[in-house]
Structure 1
């Protein structure tokens, strides 16, 4: 995976911290559409990702865990500082 990170110019931490956004996009796209949209002029992508992660319902979390268990999502661990 390190080669992939270098190839696209993104470090692992950046990917891990924005993982909740990607997971929600795959697991619950309708839920993501229900959230206020990302506005580059008002917030950073990391802030938007945090906002999405904090808004997740138990159903969305369960769907994400189910997809990870089936191997359809990468088992990326993330922890906001």
Structure 2
């Protein structure tokens, strides 16, 4: 029961677990309890889909956008005297 709840948490928090998510998903997928292993396999599929989507979007060139860099002025604008 505890491992099943942990597997549910893993699925729910995949995005926030970072690199640990893959390790936990593999461990969960190899669990002897079929329902826990099923959740681990689901988590692995989600991670693979996220990686594929990230790779695809990173490989596409960015076109038609401005790459303007915001700069910060070290000299603040002058404040007029209230006189």
Q: Relative contact order (C-alpha < 8 Å, sep 6+): which is higher?
A: 1
- Give TM-score, length-normalised by structure 1: 0.24
- Give TM-score, length-normalised by structure 2: 0.23
